[in-house]
Every structure is written in C-alpha cells, then in structure tokens.
Structure 1
Amino acid sequence: MRNDILDMVNSFPFKEVSVGYRTVTLFSSDELEKAQIGYCIDTNGQSLTGNGDGDWLQSWLVIGYEDETGDPIFIDIF
C-alpha cells in the first residue's frame, strides 16, 4: 500500500467514534491489509473488484466499520 495512505490512516487522532448508540471503529495501518478480505480480495488474495454496477472498485480502501451493522467504512484512494 502506498506510504502516504498509511501515514494518513496512522494520523487519525482516534480509533473509535461513538454517535448516539452507534460506533465507528477505524483500523490501524497494520490491520488494513487484512481488512480488505471480502471486499477487494478473497481469502486467497484473488481480486473481487470490477467495473460493473454494484461492483467493489479497485480504488476503494476499507479503513473501518460501523459496529451496529458491520458496514465497511471506506475511502476512494484515487
């Protein structure tokens, strides 16, 4: 992963944010690679990305998740 993205993630002043009864948890840079499994890669490292409607884009990077639903929090790195 690009060092500037890892530096940005490590610069987050918090790792967990609560709003009401919901919590967003952000991954550390050490956790980012594993966090991509099931979104942009499978457990064997094969790509799950595509360019069709509803496909996960190659430029999306999971940086955390919402605790109540487990939905990923992601950014577009391109």
Structure 2
Amino acid sequence: MTTNTVTLIGLLAAALTTSANLPQVLKAWRTRETSDLSLKMTVILAAGLGFWVVYGVLQGDAVIVIANAVAMLLALALTVLKLRHG
C-alpha cells in the first residue's frame, strides 16, 4: 500500500470518528437537554482525546493531532453543555 493510500485511510477514519459526536453536540445545543448524557463519560472521553493529542505531537503525526483535538473540543463542548443544563 502506498503512503498516500495509508494517509487517506487515516484521514477518512479521523473524519468519521471525529464527526461522530457532532450530532450529539448539535442536539444538546439546540434542545438544551442533556439529562441522557453521562458527565463522567464526557470528561473521560475528553481526557483520553487530550492524551491522544499529546501522543500525536510526540509522534509528529498531524492526522492524530488534528482529529483528536477537534474530537476533544466536541467532547469538552458536551461537558460544558452537560454542566450548564444538567
């Protein structure tokens, strides 16, 4: 497999997994309803994604850094919405 193919697969995986939380963030933003969300889950997810960002920086892998930084911001947004709206 060529380097370009591997990079494309990584970018596709990153785009899909990063965007997975977007519908939940938009729903929570619109409805202000977060009772069905687990605060512990959002905090643990954000922390884990933060470690992935650090790992990506240490590895010098921009795909890992960017994808996980965006996903971490979405997880933090869910955490903030959960704290505001219970």
TM-score (normalizing by structure 2):
0.25
* Larger relative contact order (CA 8 Å, sep ≥ 6): 2
Structure with the larger helix share: 2
Give 1 or 2 for the bigger CA radius of gyration.
2
Structure with the larger strand share: 1
TM-score (normalizing by structure 1):
0.26
